[in-house]
Structure formats: structure tokens, C-alpha cells
Structure 1
């Protein structure tokens, strides 16, 4: 016997109300283990692998790839084996009955090892007599559910709108598949309702990118297996056909007589749906709720650059952003009012400093968080910021690495601009901005000289502090930039 459990899209972090399905990692009929990733989604922050808290057989999936789902919407249903029922046939034993970790987010830790993806195998045919339907179970029927499994031997009900209908694994014609009381029959032929055999998920992804239907391709591999070369050849053929069609239309247009008069019409602009990183609700909420103010100051960064160059001669390279991060943690220790969060009209001053920093990626700007930044030295900050930046650009940041920040450092100078008034990363209370460092005329030791000058800005929530506190914080940051020895007092 099996109990069908529904797994919904979990809360993926602060301010995130939904996610887009990028890629399913399991098919209907797969056996999944507890905490095994089942779907890859894109939130307003990053790409996330979502693990399932149940172990059993996937009976239905909700939503195609590219569909946007709100938090709490059904993702899939799993037939979890009970103590009375036989385990499904698989390459290794399934999870214990009713086993579930409660963990639904990658990055928050789990005690259960990740399971391998397995597909239910068909029962071997009886060489003497044809396969007979399994006897009906004497137990009471399970409550009605859109994805409830049908007893063995009974006709399969029509699938309800929404979930993806169950698809049998490839097998011999007429051979039944039984798992946890769920019966499925395989249709003969590769191009029926069954799954299309491909050599790897990369082939499916390649076909999606070129808009190809795998069910219409003939594979050159064993038993019609579709290889990568088959997809690339089909894509080239489709592209050649498209080029020929365009050429034909162009020749026809040249041969057609020109119209006597035509009214000029502006071309329609390209429309882009606001979602993912650029559709982050936190930015709009910050602008609506936070009474922010900004102050700024120019600082001579010549000595800071010299100090960093000296540090890099004595060990691994330290980034300039890490040096500025260390200055910010020292400034927050002197002005703890700015290391705070504001939620529901309540200000919470934080003892620990979780420093967020802006990182540019192909999908937009994300803000990874360095945990316990106050407890790290400059070299430790540089190493952690480098690791988080690489993970952000590859889209592998976990929700835990994108949430929980108490203060943010934004280096917009990498874009060649001097200043900015950024949007505070809600529910934080402040953000430091760093412009480009450029050679400018500057009065140094009562002499006009060419120095390396940077503009520093502080955008803060005026509910948390007044201008005096904000000005004192920014002035201390500027003093450390101009005279790095000032920082030694706080080390």
C-alpha cells in the first residue's frame, strides 16, 4: 500500500513570493529518496535545486518548464510506501515508510544523503503463463486525490488538468509496471505516449534551446537512442530550412511591384516579462516603505591602494572590495545603529554582522551574504567574497547564502561611475556605495597634486538614525580610506 503525499513549492527566502520552473530533475514514475533534488527553479535571487522531503514514487508533476509558480503551489505528488505495502522494484531499497526530513531547501543542512535518480523497472514476464493482474487489496481505499494511484488491474483514470500525466518507462509491448499499487502499461513504439529515450539530460536541454521536438527525431544510437549529434544535425537542418525560406520570401518581395503609397508605421518594441532577478519584490517594497536619505564624501584613496599593494606582496592577493568590507565592519562596530533590520515597524539591532555585497551576473544583480563578517580578517573576507561571487555567476548560490544580511556594500565603481543613490536591500537599514577610483587634482599636504580620489556614499533608513550618526559613520570610513593606519586602532 502507498500513501500519496503532495509536495508544494516551499518558501525560498525573505521577500520571495514565487519561482520559475527551469528544469525538472525527475520524471513521473521515478523513485526518489528523502532530500533528493527534484526540480531546478529560478527565484528573484538565484537558481535553486529544490529537494523533496518524502521518499517514494513520483505520481504527478505540476507545471511545465518555464511556468511560474507561487509559494505554496503544488510541485509534485509522491506515493510513499507504508508498512503494509511491498516496496517498489528499484536498483536499491526505497526510503523507510513515511520517511521525511522536513528539509525543503538546499543549503540549510540535512542528515539524509542525496539519493540517486531511479526508475521503476517492469516485472519480469512469466515464461509459462501471461501476466495476470494483481489481486485487489482488501484494505480500505485511499481518500480521493487528483494524483491518487489506481489499484492494479483497473483502468487508469483520466488525468486532472494541471499535473503532467504519468508516463511509463520503455519496456516490452504489453508488459505492465506495478509500483506501490500503481499500475501503468507501456504502449508499443518509441513515438507513442512513452518517454523519448535520450543519452543524457544535456540532449534534452539542447533540443529545448533549438525548439526541437524529440519525439519527432530518429536516434542513431542503440534501440533508437537519441544522441547529441542527432540533435545538432536536426538543428542544422532546421536552420538551413529557415534560411532557405527567408531567401525565398526575399526573392518574392523583390519581384513584387512596389506599392503606390504606404503609411509609415513604427515597429513594435521588444517586450520583456518582468520576472526573476529584475522582478524582485524586495526592491519595490524598499522604495515604498523606507524613508531613505543619502550622504556622500570624496576621499583620497592613494594610501589605501598603496597599503593593498603592500599586503599583496606578502601573501595571496586581496581584493580592494575585501579591504573596504573590513573598513565597513570596523565602522559598524563604532556605529551599531546602522547594523540593523526594520520589519513591521520594529527596529532590531544585530550583534553579528552579515555583510552583503552586490555582484553582477548574467541574470542581473544579486547580493550574496558573508556570514559573521566581523569575525573575519581581510584575507578571510577576500577568500569568501571570491567564492560567493563565482557561485553567483554560475547560479549555484543557496537561499542561505542570499538572505539574512544586516548591511550591504555596493561597489558600483566597477561600472566606471562616480556616484549613485542605491535602493536599500530590505529589510536592512543602510548601504555603503563606492564609486570609481580616478586620478584627480587634490590638495595634499598643502600642495596641489594628482591623487587617486573615490566618492563614498551612505544611503540609510532615517527611522534608524539621524544625519549625525550617518555622517559620523561615513566620515570614519573616509578616514580609513585616506589613512589606513586609522584602522589599526580597531584591529
Structure 2
């Protein structure tokens, strides 16, 4: 007799606690192999295909596409054991693997190649296996639940059918407040439908009414996914970090000329062009080598500043899914060309939604080129738990005094927002002035390499 195993949404790593179902990759009745991807979910950081650790027949799925599930919530159930052969004309019978992969499913799972899905006849599962498909629920008699409620303790909700739970969610009904008419107080579909018809207001509905009274009516956009993660991080940064900002205008004419010369010297077939962002990133790594205080983080509990040994440079990238900050690992050990190639790769992955969670975390310093939006200046919010962020405005022709005469030069505004706990204004000003000097005179950077 097949054994029905429940697969729950695993820990996807990097502190993620929930994910939204984007697309199911299997149907009920499909045969799946160990570590085969069964669902595509979107976390606050990336799109992830989740592999199942069991091999067998999918007997149930929990959650529709677009639904957000917490880590640990049931995803699907799999009947593990022998299944009957497919109808004649098929390629043959499938034998389901008897056990799971044994791997801890964090991040992207175990990476086994997907296999072809095959549909089996419902009669391929024994009656006990089908009965075991529904998630196990401790059914508590109505009298016991009433006693628990009177004591202020909320007992388990006696619901077996996922359809009943779904119907209740759609109408914002709290199943814990309903009395079931089934055996031992089991809540049936008729009970939920009766509550809907009666129009009884549940605590959730009352809370929603209170929120509507406080906030005027209008379009409501859920703060979840990428936008929710960004909101939480920015709010935490503002709450915990005493930041300050300094800025300076710099003449970028010579930097742009140096970039043009680099790209012209490469010739046809010499590889990708050097970008302005790559040059600024390389300048940042050189500046951080001189001012390591800004490549640090604060351990608030220990009341210690932790200076980090390497530079993992984040850069802000705007995508259709929202703002993300991919990270160039070990930027301090890379050349301008290497940094540029990695920025290009990560930017493309950000636009297609294929960035891995590990490529979005672990940054030690962030470069924010908001000049692409056609603005000159900004006061960036630090990417918590980092200690600083360099902002770069647009590079535009402006009147400028050059060598004692008024001239039209290509000018950029640079701004540095820093955590005042890790350094004082002198250090921050020194860092920013060094960056500006490298922008105005690229030979300064060559001299310090």
C-alpha cells in the first residue's frame, strides 16, 4: 500500500519566511521523481523552483497560483510506493522511489534534473492512500473546544477539506469561530456557507472595518514580495542607523574621456565596453581600501564596529518587480573589466527575475546610480546592515570654471550617506573627496593602484 507523505514549503534560506506560488509544475496524478521541481515560487528576493524530496504520485496540492504561503505550510502530498502501469500504448510503468533524497532543501534544493511527468489512473492508488491525502487534523469535540474557548485558549480547528478552508478564506471567515455540524464538531462546507449567508461579522472582518475607518477608501496594494522586503529593510535602516549625508559636484569630463579611450583601444572583438558604473565601482573599491571604516557593519548588541575584510559591492537595479541590489562578490580583487562583466550578468538576471538569493545578500557597500532616472542628487537610505552608500547623479554638461576660465564641462553630483556610528565627518569627507578626485583626474586612481 502506498504511503502518503506531506511536503511542506522548505526554508529557502537568507531569512525568508514566506513565498508566493507563481506556477505549479505538476498536476494531481503526475508521477514525480526525487528532487524534481514541482512548483515555482517568488520570494522577496528571487524566483525559485522548489524540488520535492519524495518520488511517487502527486495526490494533492495546497495553494493556488498567486497565494502566499509561510515556510512550513503544506505544498503537496505524494503517495510513495508502487503505482499501476499506464494504459496500453504508453512507454511503460513507473515505479515511484521509496524514500526522499535526504537533503536539506535550502535555496535551490538538490539540483537533480527534471523528468517527464506521467499521468496515472486514480485507481492506481488504494483507498487508504486516497483517504490519507487530506492533511491530518486533530478533531476536537465541540464541547472541548467550547471549554478551551471559555478559558481563553483557542483549540485546533476541526477542518479536513482544503475546499472548506479556501471558501472560508475567500469570505474572510475565521474557522475558529464556527461550530461544526459534522461528527465530533467537524466543520463542513454547509457550515461555512451558512455563516456566509447569515452575514455574521468575524473578528477579521471587524478588524478590516476598523482599518477602513482609519484609512480612507482607495486602491490597496499589498506590501509583499520584493516591494515588501524593500519596505521592511528601508524602515529598519531609518529606525536603527543614525545616518548623515555629504555631497560634492565633480567634473567628470576627464573620466568620460578616459572611458572613451579605453573602449577605443580595445578594438573590434575586444569584449564588452567599459561602463561608467564599472569605473565608479572600481573607484569605490580603491576608496574603501583607503577608508575601511566605511566597509563595516555595527553589532549593536555587542556595541562593536565590525570592519569587514573584503568588499562585496552592491549596486541598485530597478526592475519590473521593483528595486533589487545584486552583489558583486570580492569586488576588491577584481579589475574594472571583471567588475563590469559581473555587473552586466547580474543586471540581466535581475531583469529576468532569475537572481539567486545568494546574489542579493551579503553586500558590504552599495553604489546607487540614480542618474539613470534623470536626476542630479539624492540622499540615499543605507542598505541595512551596511555602513554607507555612494549615490551618483546624472552626468550632464554644465558651466564650470576650468583652469581659471568658464567652460562647459560634464558635471556629476556625488553624495555619500554614512552611518555616523562607524566614522565622523572627516572620514566620510575624505572618502568622498578621494572618489571625486578620481572622477576628475583618473590618473589619481592609476597612481594608487
TM-score bracket, shorter-length normalisation:
0.7 to 0.9
Cα offset, 1:163, TM superposition: 8.2
Q: Which residue of 1 aligns with 2:237?
A: 286
Q: Is the 8 A contact 1:40 1:49 kept in 2?
A: yes
Cα offset, 1:364, TM superposition: 1.4
Aligned residues: 364
Counterparts of 1:415-430 in structure 2, within 5 Å, are 415-430=373-388
Query: Secondary structure at 1:433's aligned position in 2?
Result: strand
Query: Secondary structure at 2:351's aligned position in 1?
Result: helix
TM-score normalised by the chain length of structure 1: 0.67
Q: Deviations over 1:317-371 (max 9, x none)?
A: 1111111111111111112222223455354322122111111111211111111
Q: Deviations over 1:16-62 (max 9, x none)?
A: 43222111112223233333222222222332222233333333322
Q: Deviations over 1:54-95 (max 9, x none)?
A: 3333333221111112233332233444xxxx4675766544
Query: What is the root-mean-square deviation in Å for CA atoms of aligned residues?
Result: 3.2
Q: Which residue of 2 aligns with 1:35?
A: 35
Q: Is the 8 A contact 1:291 1:461 kept in 2?
A: yes
Q: Which residue of 2 aligns with 1:98?
A: 100
TM-score normalised by the chain length of structure 2: 0.72
For the structure 1 residues 79 and 134, does the alpha-carbon distance in structure 2 shift closer, same or farther, using more than 3 Å as the test? closer
For the structure 1 residues 43 and 99, does the alpha-carbon distance in structure 2 shift closer, same or farther, using more than 3 Å as the test? closer
Cα offset, 1:269, TM superposition: 4.2
The farther-off stretch of 69-78 and 405-414 is: 69-78
Task: Write the distance in 2 (CA, Å) between the matches of 1:48 and 1:422.
Answer: 30
Cα offset, 1:458, TM superposition: 1.0
Task: Write the distance in 2 (CA, Å) between the matches of 1:306 and 1:44.
Answer: 40
For the structure 1 residues 105 and 3, does the alpha-carbon distance in structure 2 shift closer, same or farther, using more than 3 Å as the test? farther
Matched, 1:353 2:302: no
Segments of 5+ residues of structure 2 without an aligned counterpart are: 86-91, 137-158, 167-215
Matched, 1:302 2:302: no
Q: Which residue of 2 aligns with 1:6?
A: 6
Matched, 1:332 2:288: yes
Cα offset, 1:102, TM superposition: 1.4
For the structure 1 residues 132 and 31, does the alpha-carbon distance in structure 2 shift closer, same or farther, using more than 3 Å as the test? closer
Q: Which residue of 1 aligns with 2:349?
A: 391
Task: Write the distance in 2 (CA, Å) between the matches of 1:333 and 1:428.
Answer: 16
Matched, 1:468 2:423: no
Task: Write the distance in 1 (CA, Å) between the matches of 2:251 and 2:93.
Answer: 66
Segments of 5+ residues of structure 1 without an aligned counterpart are: 124-130, 149-156, 165-266
Matched, 1:379 2:337: yes
Counterparts of 1:148-297 in structure 2, within 5 Å, are 159-160=161-162, 269-280=218-229, 281-297=232-248
Task: Write the distance in 1 (CA, Å) between the matches of 2:384 and 2:430.
Answer: 23
Q: Is the 8 A contact 2:57 2:96 kept in 1?
A: no
Q: Deviations over 1:231-278 (max 9, x none)?
A: xxxxxxxxxxxxxxxxxxxxxxxxxxxxxxxxxxxx964332222222
Cα offset, 1:407, TM superposition: 1.2
Cα offset, 1:414, TM superposition: 0.4
Q: Is the 8 A contact 1:294 1:458 kept in 2?
A: yes
Moved over 6 A (4+): 131-136
For the structure 1 residues 58 and 326, does the alpha-carbon distance in structure 2 shift closer, same or farther, using more than 3 Å as the test? same
Task: Write the distance in 2 (CA, Å) between the matches of 1:162 and 1:134.
Answer: 24
Task: Write the distance in 1 (CA, Å) between the matches of 2:315 and 2:99.
Answer: 44
Query: Secondary structure at 2:99's aligned position in 1?
Result: coil
